[in-house]
């Protein structure tokens, strides 16, 4: 017997049924926001990620050389693929472009709760608008899809910041090696405070600079008051554009009734290198799990990929953390199979079953019937295992009078009806009888 690879998952049909409900709720919300679905290949050139995804992702790549000698990898995230697609087809597109996709992704990580080697990730992105309205639309969509799944503001927190704020603040401290310092700040929540300080010492920062950074990172809270305080305390005029844009996002989210979900948190920087402005993360409030969403603005990636300047903002949400959070709140759908009708047979009724099943299927019912020559009681047991709502019993003796039996498997209610009537108008007849 073979085992599946570590960090990967199999899904049985009843598990898949629950997942399909979750995914279809997500798709419905995202489409209500005017996002259209795209798809891209699971394999891409290695170079697509070496440009700007960041060291961490590169270290986790599943990469190999193909028979043509090219370095290929399984996509670890969607953003580079989607930008590659956008740049190559930009001339035929009308902007702003609002796209979504739920790809399967691969990262060679150490498997643990909410962290897998193969997972699904919802991506939504808006391309072509620099306006904070685009940022708001993306964050609103994140909040709305969680509400539609059954979460509320007591469950989740959306922490928002802007990378430029932190960079401006670092400049006031005379720090210019942003890359190393931002990397340490991004890791801060996952490591001890001693290790955090060590990372900053290694980036040549002194005690005074580290203390000021820690104070700055801890100043999270209400958007208006915290931002105003920060801007007075630390920032020059040059950062007012960033602060105004963050305040617009906060105001816009408040207008939509989402103020209870959002917090301003300057410690959010995001690990991926391509972000250029607003960044955000969504966590469960109790902080039991890793981040559910991560996203932000990445206005330079299209140009880096050889295209024109196309501003962009979006996020990724992983299915593994979502499932953990939904199970914790008891809102993960029941894992059960569902079937409209199971046709149970007695004797040789093959022709009628073929006709009946074809008509019912053509009318949109999901239908199955016995192909194991089981006796009636075993067919009924099997029908309940399939989650059948109705049982249609077709027996040789009843058929002589043109009759079949319909049983509602939930209530046990049973009626005899004419086979020809079921065949001539199944939807009307079945709903009337049952």
Binding residues: 77-79, 107, 121, 125, 270, 274-275
Q: 306, 116 in Cβ contact below 8 A? A: no
Residue 290 Cβ, how far from ligand HAM at the closest point, in Å?
Answer: 6
E-only strand ranges, 75-136: 97-101, 104-106, 118-127
Nearer to ligand HAM, 270 or 407 (CB): 270
- Whole-number Å distance between alpha carbons of 280 and 141: 13
318 binds ligand HAM (CB under 6 A): yes
Minimum CB separation from ligand HAM for residue 188, in Å?
15
Judge contact between 353 and 369, C-beta under 8 A.
yes
Answer for the pair 268, 161: CB distance below 8 angstroms, yes or no. Answer: yes
Rule CB under 6 A: choose which of 266, 294, 387, 426 binds ligand HAM: 294
Whole-angstrom distance, CA of residue 182 vs CA of residue 170: 10
* Alpha carbon distances (Å) from 296 to 311, 314, 362: 11, 6, 46
Strands of 207-327, DSSP E: 262-264, 278-284, 293-297, 312-318
State yes or no: residue 292 binds ligand HAM (CB under 6 A).
Answer: yes
CB 8 within 8 A of CB 112: no
Q: Smallest distance, Å, CB 62 to ligand HAM?
A: 12
**Mask for 45-74, x = binds ligand HAM (CB under 6 A):** ------------------------------
The least distance separating ligand HAM from the CB of residue 218, rounded to whole angstroms, comes to 22
Stretch that binds ligand HAM, among 112-120, 168-176, 213-221, 426-434 (CB under 6 A): 112-120
Asked if residue 96 has a cis previous peptide bond (ω within 30° of 0), the answer is yes
Question: Does residue 19 bind ligand HAM (CB under 6 A)?
Answer: no
Q: Which of the ranges 17-25, 287-295, 353-361, 378-386 carries the binding residues for ligand HAM, by CB under 6 A? A: 287-295
Is the CB of 125 or the CB of 168 nearer to ligand HAM?
125
Element (H, E) at 332: none
Positions 224 through 283 that interact with ligand HAM (CB under 6 A): 272
Minimal distance, residue 9 CB to ligand HAM, in Å: 10
Separation between Cα atoms, residue 382 and residue 386, nearest integer Å:
6
123 belongs to the binding site for ligand HAM (CB under 6 A): yes
Residues at the site binding ligand HAM, with contacts judged by CB under 6 A: 77-79, 107, 109, 114-116, 119, 121, 123, 125, 272, 291-295, 314-318, 320-321
């Amino acid at each position: 017997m073979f085992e599946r690879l570590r960090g990967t998952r199999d899904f049985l049909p009843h598990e898949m049924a629950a997942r399909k409900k979750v995914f279809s709720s997500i798709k419905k919300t995202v489409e209500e926001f005017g996002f259209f679905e795209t798809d891209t290949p699971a394999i891409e050139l290695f170079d697509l990620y070496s440009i700007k995804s960041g060291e961490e992702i590169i270290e986790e790549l599943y990469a190999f050389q193909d028979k043509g000698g090219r370095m290929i990898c399984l996509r670890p995230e969607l953003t580079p693929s989607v930008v590659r697609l956008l740049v190559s087809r930009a001339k035929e597109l009308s902007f702003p472009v609002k796209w979504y996709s739920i790809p399967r992704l691969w990262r060679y990580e150490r498997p643990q709760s909410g962290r897998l080697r193969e997972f699904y990730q919802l991506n939504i992105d808006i391309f072509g608008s620099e306006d904070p309205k685009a940022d708001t639309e993306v964050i609103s969509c994140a909040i709305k899809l969680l509400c539609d799944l059954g979460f509320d503001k007591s469950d989740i927190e959306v922490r928002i910041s802007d990378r430029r704020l932190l960079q401006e603040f670092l400049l006031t401290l005379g720090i210019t090696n942003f890359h190393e310092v931002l990397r340490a700040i991004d890791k801060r929540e996952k490591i001890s405070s001693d290790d955090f300080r060590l990372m900053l010492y290694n980036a040549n920062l002194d005690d005074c600079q580290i203390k000021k950074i820690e104070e700055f990172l801890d100043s999270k809270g209400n958007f208006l008051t915290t931002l105003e305080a920060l801007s007075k305390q630390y920032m020059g005029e040059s950062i007012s554009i960033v602060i105004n844009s963050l305040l617009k996002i906060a105001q816009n989210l408040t207008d939509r009734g989402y103020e209870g979900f959002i917090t301003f948190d300057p410690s959010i920087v995001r690990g991926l290198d391509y972000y250029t402005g607003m960044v955000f993360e969504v966590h469960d409030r109790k902080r039991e799990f890793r981040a559910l969403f991560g996203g932000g603005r990445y206005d330079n990636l299209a140009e880096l990929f050889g295209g024109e300047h196309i501003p962009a903002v979006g996020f990724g949400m992983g299915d593994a953390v979502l499932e953990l959070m939904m199970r914790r709140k008891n809102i993960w759908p029941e894992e059960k199979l569902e079937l409209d009708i199971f046709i149970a047979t007695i004797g040789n009724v093959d022709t009628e079953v073929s006709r009946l099943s074809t008509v019912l299927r053509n009318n949109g019912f999901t239908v199955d019937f016995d192909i194991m020559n089981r006796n009636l009681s075993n067919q009924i047991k099997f029908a309940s295992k399939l989650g059948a709502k109705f049982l249609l019993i077709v027996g040789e003796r009843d058929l002589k009078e043109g009759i079949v039996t319909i049983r509602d498997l939930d209530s046990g209610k049973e009626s005899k009806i004419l086979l020809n009537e079921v065949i001539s108008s199944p939807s009307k007849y079945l709903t009337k009888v049952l």
